[in-house]
Structure 1
Amino acid sequence: MGGRPAPARLPGFVVIASFYTVWLFSIMFTFLAIPAWLLFGYRLPVQFLVAYYFVRMFWRPAHWPAFHQFASRLINRSPYFNSQRLIFQSEHAKPPPNSSTLFAVFPHGALCVGWTVNLNLSPIMQAMQVEYLGASMLFRLPLISEVLTWASSSSASARNMKRLMKTGKNLALLPGGFDEAAFYRRHRYDVFVRHRKGFIKYAMQHGYKISPVFTFGEEATYFALESGSDFRRALAKKKIPGIVFWSRLLWLPDPNIDLVTVVGDPIEIPHVAHPTADQVDKCHANFVAALQSIFDTYKADYAGSPHATIHIH
């Protein structure tokens, strides 16, 4: 494609360009509104935000299946990337709706491309009625919060996650979050999970199975600044994105890659209402081993080398 969308990919390009433009614009608009007013006297952004949050006191967006399915059809009929593939380790990795399965997805990458394209916009995943849990901050911002909610997503807050788990709904989560994004390096496989145990504990408490999910190609979607890593990771710990990234298409991911997401078989873990730290540690170790196994099993085919290494932080 030479950095430009071919005509056959145009519908998929529109989906990706629209989504990531709305995402980044929502963040910049919200956080620059007050400086624009104080420094330049430009009040319209602040006035819009006041009106928006007033309306949100009385109205909340809801899931919109027709919108979600329409976006899915566009990007699957006219792929944005060279290839977009969703692979299941076996039929056991395809749970029916409301079967208490948690898909733990890695890596986060710069902008969760595998999560967006191969999972959220997959008709197979939609048939499983998966709810996608994202950063709580995004569900407080105008525009992007509506788009995410329409596409079967909601906050990854502990309160919301526990509420959904009580219903047995299938869920997808990016456990690495901002911390994992801060580790992003082009052509490196980095995941942040060694100290992420909360999702294991919640799964044990609510009787959930956990499927490890890994996307090959996420590491090639963007270039990223590598200097200042300590500072950027410190920002991530405060829930502030600690990554500076770009591509040949500026803020859009590089389309000239093969994006392959592998969904592993679910790990059965004990249902324990009040798990001890040792019980959580044991289940967490089993999960990390399963994630490593998924990577090792498929890396020769999709990482381009049987010697590729995953860095687990």
Structure 2
Amino acid sequence: MKIDFAPLDMPMSRRLQTAAVLQWVYSFLGLAPTCILLFFYLLFTRFWLISVLYAVWWFIDYDTPARGGRRLPFLCGLKLWEHMRDYFPVKLVKTADLDPRHNYVLGFHPHGVLVAGAFTNFCTYATGFRQLFPGLTSYLLMLPLWFRAPFFRDYIMCAGLIPSDKDSAVYPLSHRGSGNAVVIAVGGAPEALDAHPGTYNVLLANKKGFIKMAMEHGAHLVPVFSFGENEVFDQVENQRGTWLRWMQEKLQRIMGISLPLFHARGIFQYSFGLMPYRRPINTVVGRPIRVERNEKPTAKELDALHQLYMDELSDLFEEHKGNYGVDEDMHLNFV
């Protein structure tokens, strides 16, 4: 195989962008295991007290992720994230105002392989969320598993990430007044297995938990579609019914995380590696769907709102797909 190396005279700005995305990919794939190993390694060195003191702190601070986390504006506003934004680039597109006197549940679609658009737009300040939606604070949901990793849990909380279990997800909606936006990658880990370039499969047909949560707390629903999310990585063919897909789904049910076999480019060459392609991601935030508080919705009421949400998401996709290079004959496929 011929390797296509990056030019030696690459501008410094592009090198910084690559470095920013490299640390993000490492944070997503390798930082949690590294932190776990570091925690136990230190116990057997003369620095054992660090791990012991951290264990005490962890015990005291155990419930913080479930209580809205601990966002650090300084970290969210680092220049680092602007370099990451410009690598793809990532853009946040507003279609309607979101009144900060209300709370919101934002359904993010599609998940993609590493949810690059969701992280850049809702965990950092690089794409202007605060300016586009003044008065709102975003909370991106992440698998609870990652909040059990020492040191790593503190890092992801600093970026506004909170666990995706029900109690944690509803906390900003029920205990922090108004102006809160809980962002849910609705398809979750299973949807990552469908993240192939040129596909628009959305795992939503039977996903109603976030709808019920919005109804119980009177939070308005907002559909969000991220054009280009599936384009930044290639994935080994794993159509439903193949042995590979069966194995991936089996592991996902056991471990709680999916294992898509993805690849793209490298750091110094463009032929292979785990770095994403430089392809634009345009995250379009749709119009809010007004939701009245209903602590005990009936199945009929839940189904009606779920259908309305799917219709609004489909309309959002159809309205904007022409702006972002999607063929006219392509439509959302609700799975």
- Cross-structure match for 1:247: 264
- Cross-structure match for 1:175: 186
- Cross-structure match for 1:38: none
- Cross-structure match for 2:21: 16
118-127 vs 263-272, greater mean Cα deviation: 118-127
1: distance between equivalents of 2:82 and 2:264? Answer: 23
131-140 vs 113-122, greater mean Cα deviation: 113-122
Distance change (3 Å), C-alpha of 1:72 and 1:201: farther
Counterpart code for 1:58? I
1: distance between equivalents of 2:304 and 2:107? Answer: 17
Displacement of 1:302 after TM fit?
A: 0.8
Superposed CA offset, 1:161-212 (max 9, x none): 1222113422111111111112222221121111110110010010000110
Distance change (3 Å), C-alpha of 1:71 and 1:248: same
Distance change (3 Å), C-alpha of 1:305 and 1:22: same
1: distance between equivalents of 2:203 and 2:307? Answer: 14
Displacement of 1:15 after TM fit?
A: 2.8
Question: Structure 1 residue 124 and structure 2 residue 121: aligned?
Answer: no
2: distance between equivalents of 1:72 and 1:210? Answer: 31
Superposed CA offset, 1:212-267 (max 9, x none): 00111111111112231122123333413131111112222112x11111000111
| TM-score (normalizing by structure 2) | 0.79
Distance change (3 Å), C-alpha of 1:45 and 1:301: farther
Question: Structure 1 residue 75 and structure 2 residue 78: aligned?
Answer: no
CA contact (8 A) 2:215 2:294 kept: yes
1: distance between equivalents of 2:79 and 2:253? Answer: 33
Counterpart code for 1:88? K
- Cross-structure match for 2:229: 218
CA contact (8 A) 1:22 1:143 kept: no
Distance change (3 Å), C-alpha of 1:3 and 1:280: farther
CA contact (8 A) 1:179 1:237 kept: no
Unpaired runs of at least 5, structure 1 = 34-42
Distance change (3 Å), C-alpha of 1:28 and 1:247: farther
- Cross-structure match for 1:209: 220
2: distance between equivalents of 1:109 and 1:144? Answer: 22
- Please give the secondary structure, in 2, of the residue aligned with 1:57: helix
CA contact (8 A) 1:62 1:149 kept: yes
- Cross-structure match for 2:250: 234
2: distance between equivalents of 1:2 and 1:65? Answer: 37
Q: CA RMSD in A?
A: 2.8
Question: Structure 1 residue 184 and structure 2 residue 184: aligned?
Answer: no
Displacement of 1:312 after TM fit?
A: 1.3
Counterpart code for 1:240? I
- Please give the secondary structure, in 1, of the residue aligned with 2:309: helix
Unpaired runs of at least 5, structure 2 = 239-243, 267-272
Q: 1:26 aligns with which of 24, 27, 31?
A: 31
- Cross-structure match for 2:145: 137
User: Identity of paired residues, percent?
Assistant: 21
Counterpart code for 2:14? R
Counterparts of 1:276-291 in structure 2 under 5 Å?
276-291=298-313
Displacement of 1:45 after TM fit?
A: 7.5
Displacement of 1:72 after TM fit?
A: 6.7
2: distance between equivalents of 1:8 and 1:111? Answer: 23
Counterparts of 1:148-159 in structure 2 under 5 Å?
148-159=156-167
- Please give the secondary structure, in 2, of the residue aligned with 1:23: helix
- Please give the secondary structure, in 2, of the residue aligned with 1:282: helix
Q: 1:258 aligns with which of 264, 280, 287?
A: 280
CA contact (8 A) 2:35 2:152 kept: no
